[in-house]
Amino acid sequence: MDISKILADLRQEREQLEEAILSLERLAMGRGRRRGRPPSWMSGVEPARKRGRPLGSKNKNTSQSAKASSAVV
């Protein structure tokens, strides 16, 4: 095995670990609820929220309820 290749791989892995540690430290420091827009470095961290009604909302399709009520009458 080539020792210089092993050293290069280990250095690259160390850099990746340091980046991961830094990002986790940033997240740990900002745990409190804050107002306003999050910092730009956190924009990739949070998933995009779905828009629209939640699945269990009260307002169902009105066409189905209208059919049911007209069939009863």
In 3D, which of 55, 29, 52 has the Cα closest to residue 41?
29
29 or 44: whose pLDDT is higher? 29
pTM summary value: 0.40
Say which residue the tokens 């980046």 belong to: 19
DSSP 47: P
CB 38 within 8 A of CB 53: no
Distance CA 62, CA 29 (A): 48
Distance CA 36, CA 72 (A): 51
CB 45 within 8 A of CB 27: yes
pLDDT digits (tens, 9 = 90+) for 30-53: 766 667 777 777 766 555 667 777
28 or 54: whose pLDDT is higher? 28
